[in-house]
Chain A
């Protein structure tokens, strides 16, 4: 769930939940603690990763670490807000 206070989130991480194997590498490496594992299951029986723009330590900065550490390409895209 994203909750936004003013305007759009500055960064967005797209997770393909069905590819995720719940390894939690993205969860433990995110400096902002923006990723967690869902309590629900995907079709393969894993708890897939879920993105929160407002992480426990701060907002996502599109640093890309989650993308690089994901072994399954489940973290499929890291997007940042275009500057106007």
Chain B
């Protein structure tokens, strides 16, 4: 806390501050992890839309398993990959509730791919935030379906050989190719180095904040919303925090280009 805080309280107004949808528990996320940013963006959207008392977060398996510790809403833990099915069950009997999950690329694109595709095909009015950092984070850095060619992981110590292990799966493009889903967007969430100045752009988190709000609006309007956040995993990529942002900007954003892939309800034009 800065000296002089107490006297200054009356002179200052708080422009950005406490979110009622965020608990005060310090997070387990690694230093610089986009999971932390996303958690805040979600809490911000819940506060803005005033849906806290009708929201249910579904913990997935991976670094998002503790979502309920940080997001101050009702919660249920789903088995690995099953969040879209659990959310569908809740939503079908209680369409008045707002249900959402944060899933990792292993949870959503490997073990849970079928549940994800069918929820999308039914345009189930649920919201899925995919944190795609191209690796299995919580379990210590194994290959994911999104791991690019050549990336060293603990199960591809020579670098991934996509001819042997499979080519990457692009969840946003796959879902956007279906008739069902209402909103499919990919956001580059990390701060990205700007070439002209020694400054990093915060466009990712700012765009992310708007996308999270839009995703909830799509659910409230009755549609399936999916936002993929290209992210980093500095610890498992074995890079410094800032180097991981550079890698994401130089390599991942080209494999997983950001964009609005589907917006059936035109929510971004409103």
Contacts and interface: CB of A to CB of B under 8 A. Distances in A.
A79 B200 contact: no
Of A12, A23, A65, A70, the most chain B CB neighbours within 10 A belong to A23
Nearest to B13: A82
Interface string A66-77: 011111110011
B16 A67 contact: yes
Contacts of A18: 26
A31 B201 CA distance: 9
B26 A19 contact: yes
What DSSP secondary structure best describes chain B's contact surface?
mixed
A71 B4 CA distance: 26
B36 A14 contact: no
Interface in B6-35: 8, 11-18, 22, 26-27, 29-35
B149 to A, nearest CB: 28
A21 B234 CA distance: 13
Interface in A1-40: 2, 8, 12, 14-19, 21-25, 28-29, 31
B111 to A, nearest CB: 26
A71 B11 contact: no
Contacts of A12: 2, 8, 12
- Chain B interface size, as a band, is 35 or more
A77 B40 CA distance: 13
Interface residues of A, number: 36
B143 interface: no
Contacts, number: 107
Contact of A79 (B15, B26, B29, B202): B15
A76 to B, nearest CB: 7
B191 interface: yes
A23 to B, nearest CB: 3
A71 B13 contact: no
Contact of B12 (A31, A73, A81): A81
Interface of B: 1-5, 8, 11-18, 22, 26-27, 29-37, 39-41, 191, 199-202, 205-206, 209, 241-242
30 contacts: A2-B2, A2-B3, A8-B8, A12-B8, A15-B2, A18-B26, A21-B30, A21-B32, A22-B31, A25-B32, A28-B199, A28-B200, A29-B191, A31-B199, A65-B206, A68-B40, A68-B209, A69-B191, A71-B29, A73-B22, A76-B17, A76-B18, A77-B14, A77-B18, A78-B14, A78-B16, A79-B15, A80-B13, A81-B12, A82-B12
Interface of A: 2, 8, 12, 14-19, 21-25, 28-29, 31, 46, 51, 62, 64-65, 67-73, 76-82
